[in-house]
Every structure is written in C-alpha cells, then in structure tokens.
Structure 1
Amino acid sequence: MTEEEKELLQTYKPEKSLIIYGSLAPNKPNHAVVEHIKGEWKKGIVRGKLENVGWGAALGYLGFKHCRKKDQQKISMFALISDELVSNWQMLDEFEGDEYRRILAKYELDTGEIGVGYIYAINEEKA
C-alpha cells in the first residue's frame, strides 16, 4: 500500500461509510437488511454509471459501476456513517452475493462535504 493510500484510508475511514444507491436505502424493499446498524444517514451523490445488471435490476434497481469522467452520471445516494459497519461487512457481502463487489468510491454530501466509502458495484467478472 502506498503512503497516499494509507493517508486516504486514515483521512476518510471508508470502512465506516456505506454508499447506498438502491434497494437498501430508507423506505426501499431491502432496507431491513441494514436498519439494525446504528449510524447517521446523509444524502448526497456518487458519480459513476448505472447499468441494467445484477439481481437488483430485476427489482428495478440498476447496478453501479465506475466509469471514465466524461461518462459519469450524478447518482443520488445515501451514506450510512457508522462504527458498526466494520462488524457487518461480511453479512452485507453475503447479502449482495457474487454479482456485486464492494469497492471504494468518492461521494459528495448535500452539504458539500466529500467522503470516501464502500459501494456495492457490478462484479464485472460475473456480469
């Protein structure tokens, strides 16, 4: 790991931020999976692309993927900020399954604050 990567992880603590853009969001069909995790919900955007891929697509929730800057869309999201995520990552990984993988992404809150967290993206190897 480079010094820049170490600094990024220390500054943003992405292990404490889950970026939710689909069915796990408040008032969405799979929110019960995360509602036991105590934390703070914040609204904002993440930049990337949504594609009709993954099991969530069958429910009307497109899958996220990183893309080149010129192809990026602003995607509405919630960030769940919680110390409890660390003990829930395995459960969340199992829930999402092998069609998705947990990756780092940068987000911007409605307040203008920038953060880095984990988002479940399309697993290109399974797509």
Structure 2
Amino acid sequence: MDFDIIIEKLNEKISSRDGFEKIDIEKLSETEQSFIEKYNPNNTLIIYGTLAPGRPNHFKIEHIKGVWKTGVLKGKLVNEGWGSDLGYFGFRHTKTDEQENIEAFVLFSNDLIDNWAYLDEFEGEGYRRLLAKYELDNGEIGIGNIYAINQAVD
C-alpha cells in the first residue's frame, strides 16, 4: 500500500480534535499497524509555523526535551488560522499535483505523549492534529503529528 494512502486512511480515523494516540490500534488493518510500529508518530511533531525554534511561540514548547531536525513536508500553506495574523499560514493536506515543499522542523521526543493535550489546547479549535509525511535534510522519510487547518470548522 502507498505511503500517502496509509496516512490518508489513518487521518480519516482521527476525530476532529483527538489525535492519533486516541485511535484503537487493534481496529487498524495489519498494514496500518505495521506502518505505525515502524514510524512511531506519537514521538514526532512536525512544525511549520510559530512553534518552530526562533519563532514567536517556541517558548510554549521549549520545555519539551528532544532532538530537532530540519526538512520538508508536502502540502499547502493557506492564509487561514490564528497564525496567519502573525504572518504564518496554516497547513492543509492536498492532492499530489497541488503539493508544495514546505520548510519544516521535526521534533523527536518521548515527552510528546505527555504534552499532546497541552498542545491541542494551545492550537485551539481552528487546528486539527493529523499525521503527515516529512523528509529530513538527510533524505530520511517518516511520519509525525502536524497541526493542520481544521476543515470541520471552516
């Protein structure tokens, strides 16, 4: 099964506000379970906006210990969400032919699991935590959590 199709199917199972960790793993297909075991998205946060190092809201997550790496993600940034008032657009998953390369910062941390509720509250109703694919500068590909525009409240 294609990488992007698996992510799309997993994202369909994530409710509008609950993140990936609320999915009942036993209800996933064997392919999806293997995919999750391999990429372990609960310990990965992809950031493209105000929470990134050196940006206005990084102080909100600097208590989360981990390793930062840079790379890109595929999708589209749109002039929506509360971050757009600060000059930071919101992320949307898009069809392959509409995707752009977006600069990303990826945080790998075992502390994320204890901080998802805090981060969900910070991002608010206008954003939904989904899974997305990233590619690090060294070419490594993986999946992680990302805050995307919540289309359910558009």
Flag the structure with higher helix content.
2
Correspondence 1:71-86 to 2 at 5 A: 71-86=98-113
Query: Hey, what does 2:60 align to over in structure 1?
Result: 33
**Among 145, 148, 151, which residue is 1:118 paired with?**
145
**Alignment-mate amino acid for residue 75 of structure 2:** G
Deviation at 1:125, TM superposition (A): 1.2
- Which of 49, 61, 64 aligns to 1:22? It is 49
Deviation of residue 126 (structure 1)? 1.3
CA distance in 2, matches of 1:102, 1:49: 16
Aligned 1:49-68 pairs, distance under 5 A: 49-68=76-95
Partner of 1:12: 39
Secondary structure of 1:83's partner?
coil
Q: Deviations over 1:18-49 (max 9, x none)?
A: 00000000010000111000000000000000
SS in 1 for 2:152: coil
| SS state at 1:10 partner | helix
Instruction: State the TM-score, normalized to the length of structure 2.
Output: 0.82
RMSD value over aligned CA atoms? 0.5
* Aligned partner letter, 1:104: L
Match of 1:44 among 60, 68, 71: 71
Which of the pair is proportionally richer in strand?
1
Aligned counterpart, 1:92: 119
Displacement of 1:5: 1.0
Give the TM-score normalised by structure 1.
0.99
SS at 2:63 equivalent = coil
Unaligned runs of 5+ in 2: 1-27
Q: Secondary structure at the match of 1:121?
A: strand
- Provide the rounded CA distance (Å) in 2 between the counterparts of 1:78 and 1:53: 20
Q: String of CA shifts for 1:41-95, please: whole Å, max 9, x gaps.
A: 0000000001001101111110001000000000000000000000000000000
